[in-house]
Amino acid sequence: MRVRGGAENELPRISQIARIFEAREVENRAGVPGTSPARHSAGSPETAPQGAPFAGLLVVRDRTRRPAYELPVTDPSPDRTDPQAAPNQGEKIEAHTPLVATAHLPAVGGRIGSELEHFIVEELPLYEASGEGEHLYVFLEKRGATTQDLIQAVARTANVRPQDVGAAGMKDKHAITRQWLSLPATARPPEDWELPEFATLLERSRHRNKLRTGHLRANRFRITLVDVPAGGLERARAVVAELSRAGLPNYYGAQRFGRHGKTLAQALQWLRRDTSEDGARRRGGHGRHFQTKLLSSAVQSEIFNRYLTARLGCAEPLLTGEVVRLDGTGRHFVVEDVAQELPRYEQGDLHRTGPLLGPRTLQARAAAAELEARVLEGLGFGEAELATLGRAAPGARRDLTLHPEELEVEEPAPGLLVLSFVLPAGSYATQLVRELTRAPWLEPY
């Protein structure tokens, strides 16, 4: 794959995408005093960089511009090998299969064990509870239950409404997970609680505010692989060393798209159905809002995954017009001078990002905007679909690559491997595991 030349011919289409989301932002913020829509220009015409061919061999380079790994492309289906390939009329669009970053190394094999103890997750909060304040903070362990199950149980025994219980995020059901919840001042004290067998109170404190979605720094994982062929530890150490050096592509995991990708199929149907004239009449209600949020997130995730694969196919470490994040902050900006910003990128001060499309998404420009536009074209999205997505999702940017922290592997017994690592909030542990097992992407774990 290469970012094709003739970027000046793409500018009207790129500008149109920006105008669609800008118009949606005006609509979403209309009547709010003191607000104005964010304005992003498509930039000036520039010659797009020439990257390595996508089909046949994918060359991915690290921060020093040396080849980090080479990935042979073996799946010939258009939507899996080329995220920019436009679908044929009436063709079903399937979830894009992410690349395996360590495909040049031998597979470790094995699978995630079926016992609850084989998948352990501990939440690392964005901030520590201060010990003072009106909100009760409780740290709980749950086994084989969803976070909603936990919230319902805690609300019932604490005599509060479930909607008054705060959580930073949802945790896996078939696992042992530990996370914080917050309760209002009216909650019954924990010493009077009667929790179900799947829940255990580990710690409590107090704080000034309610826990909300996103109040989460990272998650600590301990995952056991079973049925690992002989020599697995040596192979696993090679994969772990490579991921520690070059990083892990920050793909959304298969869970985001539902069992066998059904959520994505529903999301694409919703997106196209809702562009019809009576689409607005079908919207409304709490249940509809939740469903719309779920479906729009699946669409955003699919766009991001396809963009990430397309971006990995470009030899250039930075593109003109690319949106990057400043390390240690949530600040994003557009790269205008690649030569000026490249040293900062190579030092790890800048992180490349991909789009979670919506009216508040900082728009890429020039060559990077062309690449994003081609990914949308590959999905067959036009103005109507983008406008519908803009009504449902505000938009953001997401890092393309992450570096797992405290990544270690051990072999407690023959045929068993234990992986320990920390991933930032919103990243998928199953994507890291897939680098070792090479399990089919949509195979349920």
C-beta of residue 83 within 8 angstroms of C-beta of residue 2: no
Element (H, E) at 377: helix 366-378
Strand partners, 89: none
Q: For the residues of 166-205, what is the DSSP string, one character each? A: EES----SSSEEEEEEEE-TTSPPGGG----TTEEEEEEE
Active-site annotation holder among 82, 172, 274, 399: 172
Tell me the angle at which helices 11-29 and 383-392 cross, rounded to the nearest 10 degrees: 30
Nearest-angstrom CA–CA distance, 291 and 282: 12
Active site residue 172: yes
CA-nearest of 3, 2, 22, 15 to 44 is 15
Nearest-angstrom CA–CA distance, 217 and 211: 13
Residue type (1 letter), 50 = Q
The CA distances from residue 221 to 64, 218, 239, 254, 434, in Å, are 30, 10, 17, 18, 14
Look-up: residue for tokens 């036009």?
Answer: 382
Strand partners, 59: 70
C-beta of residue 216 within 8 angstroms of C-beta of residue 82: no
Q: Using DSSP, how many helices (H) and how many strands (E) does the chain show? A: 11, 17
Look-up: residue for tokens 């991933």?
Answer: 423
DSSP H helices in 146-285: 147-158, 232-246, 262-273, 279-282
Nearest-angstrom CA–CA distance, 35 and 20: 18
C-beta of residue 73 within 8 angstroms of C-beta of residue 58: yes
The distance in angstroms from the start CA to the end CA of the chain is: 31
Nearest-angstrom CA–CA distance, 84 and 92: 15
CA-nearest of 203, 202, 166 to 181 is 166
Neighbours of 289 (CB within 10 A): 12
The CA distances from residue 22 to 19, 38, 133, 371, 386, in Å, are 5, 7, 41, 20, 11
Return the active site residues. 172
